[in-house]
Amino acid sequence: MRELHWQGADCTALYGRIFEPEGAADRLPLLCLPGLTRNGRDFDQLADALAGHPETPRAVITMDYRGRGRSGHADAASYTPQVEADDVRRGLLAAGIDRCAVLGTSRGGLIAALLAMLPPATSGLGIGPVILNDIGPVIEVAGLLRIRAGIDLLTGAGAPQTWPAAEALMLKLQGGAFPNVRGDELAAVTRQLFRDEGGHPVADFDPALLATLASLSPETPLPPLWPMFLALGQMRRTAGSAPEPRPLLVLRGALSDVLSEATLAEMQRLLPHLETQVVADQGHAPLLRDDATIARIADFLNGVD
């Protein structure tokens, strides 16, 4: 594994990692993009499994958006999917990667769609298969309101000061959506979201991210993104070539409050080639730590290389 360091257009310092196994040259590398407040550590188990596969090893790239993980904080006005997509594009090119598959969790799925729709001639990138982890063209406002309340608890005056308190808060926030995440796994998931500062947990993202959800209310749901989803479903392999279906896999947590069953069904109706996987006993967003989900991702990628 090697570290990536580059800068955004405004000189914000950015961070990522590449897992580069031997024998992976014939397979598309997989770029993994996290959710709103998350970071590249969310994909450690998936990256280890894909890169370390004895028969079909694959390179995996993980990135921390600006204001998350080991990337620098920036002006809160720059915490937008459009700016973050440009940061990701710059990181890929800095790493010498001009074609890849993308897995996007929640907000990462929106960024994946933005990257896929950039003209390759100007972006310098060729985006192939896309995996959407619990995100679709209709984003349920109830789930976003829950996420906003969680950010406030993670960073406000009552933020946890000890690791047991951090685990207790994670259980409070996500226990209902992840009924089987307890004990050692709860501790591991907690350390994906928090960093350690002198033995104390600190939420590993800029609290200013809360402002990006400030205008949300039950009466003002986000506009649906069906045109963007339909555009994502098509790709051109070369400039001027006719569009063809882009391989797509959508993962949905069976307990998700962000991607509904109805939205997933409509996605399948509009794009019949779309593949799906429902992750039992998990909500928003599936953790990508269980063997069955990791195997499904590997099979999908191996089938479309």
Tell me the CATH number at 42.
Answer: 3.40.50.1820
At residue 4, the 3 state secondary structure works out as strand
Angle at which helices 183-193 and 163-174 pack, to 10 degrees? 100
Cα of 83 vs its chain's centroid, Å: 15
In a domain? residue 209: no
Q: For residues 25 and 23, what is the distance between their CA atoms, to the nearest angstrom?
A: 6
In a domain? residue 193: no
| C-alpha neighbours within 13 Å on the C-beta side of residue 64 | 28
In a domain? residue 156: no
Q: For residues 214 and 47, what is the distance between their CA atoms, to the nearest angstrom?
A: 34
In a domain? residue 128: yes
Instruction: Calculate what percentage of the chain has a pLDDT beyond 90.
Output: 89
The pLDDT-based confidence of 149 (bands split at 50, 70, 90) is very high
Adjacency order of strands within the sheet including 30-33:
2-7, 13-19, 60-64, 30-33, 99-105, 126-133, 248-253, 275-279
Output the pLDDT for position 50. Answer: 98
- Owning domain of residue 74: 2-142+214-304
In a domain? residue 275: yes
Indicate if the pLDDT at residue 196 is higher than 70. Answer: yes
Dump the DSSP string for 116-174.
HTS-HHHH--EEEEEEEES--SS--HHHHHHHHHHHHHHHSTT---SHHHHHHHHHHHH
At residue 196, the 3 state secondary structure works out as strand
Structural domain count, the chain: 1
In a domain? residue 100: yes
Cβ proximity of 121 and 88 under 8 Å: no
In a domain? residue 18: yes
State the pTM of this model: 0.97
In a domain? residue 41: yes
